[in-house]
Amino acid sequence: MTGPDLSPYGATGQPFNEIVVDARGRAWVDMPGSMPWEDPKPGTVTVVLPDGSSRQVADDVWFPNGMVVLGEDTLVLAESHRDRLTAWTITEAGELVDRRVWADLGPGSAPDGLCADAEGAIWYASVPGQRCTRVAEGGKVLETVTADRGCFACMLGGDDGRTLYVVANHYPGAGTSDGVVLIQPVAVPRSGRP
């Protein structure tokens, strides 16, 4: 193993799921209140500051999953168990305010990983839907890419930001995996964070 040494950056005291870092180096981390196979309970969002300290900034999020920062101060989070994307405004002080539904995605969408593009739309991955879908604020579906297995996350990349990378997998049994990386050229390049 030739990888770098690992050094602690912060701790939340709870198991966490997704992370996104804003322009000021603040890490936004979400934590499900229950595992997918348990009775659903709401989770939370915590911010981890560059000095390693952390505090909870949101609750009542239902299986919080992928996150993206649009512009300088809009955090969008996938609530897998509510089939929606939820947004807040990030304040100077690192609080989340003005919670709102960014997009209602419809039953069975269960949004997982997210990324954003230069037109302000969001691509979300759907495991049960075996697809990645590009939506506008308000929920209008703009484009869909399908797969033969569950799509766990997607990210725009490539030198021009116009390749959609999709990690897809049949939902694994005990220790099994048949993961693939799919790529799809798209018209609108990546934007936002990550």
List contacts with another protein (CB under 8 A): 1-4, 6-16, 18-22, 27, 29, 48, 69, 113, 152-159, 161, 165-169, 172, 175, 177, 179-181, 190, 193-194
**Nearest-approach distance from CB 131 to another protein, in angstroms:** 16
Pick the closest to residue 118 from 134, 130, 141 (CA basis).
Answer: 134
**Nearest-approach distance from CB 35 to another protein, in angstroms:** 11
Can you read off the two tokens belonging to residue 70?
A: 């649009």
d(C-alpha 193, C-alpha 178), whole Å: 28
Pick the closest to residue 155 from 145, 147, 163, 143 (CA basis).
Answer: 163
**Nearest-approach distance from CB 123 to another protein, in angstroms:** 11
CA dihedral 69, 146, 62, 60 (to 10 degrees): 30
**Nearest-approach distance from CB 28 to another protein, in angstroms:** 10
Our CB check for another protein shows the closer of 85 and 113 to be 113
**Nearest-approach distance from CB 154 to another protein, in angstroms:** 7
Our CB check for another protein shows the closer of 48 and 61 to be 48
Our CB check for another protein shows the closer of 103 and 164 to be 164
Which residue matches tokens 């909870």? Answer: 56
d(C-alpha 89, C-alpha 75), whole Å: 6
Name every residue whose Cβ is closer than 8 Å to that of residue 47 and which is 6 or more positions away in sequence.
26, 27, 28, 29, 54, 55, 57, 94
Our CB check for another protein shows the closer of 10 and 139 to be 10
Our CB check for another protein shows the closer of 92 and 176 to be 176
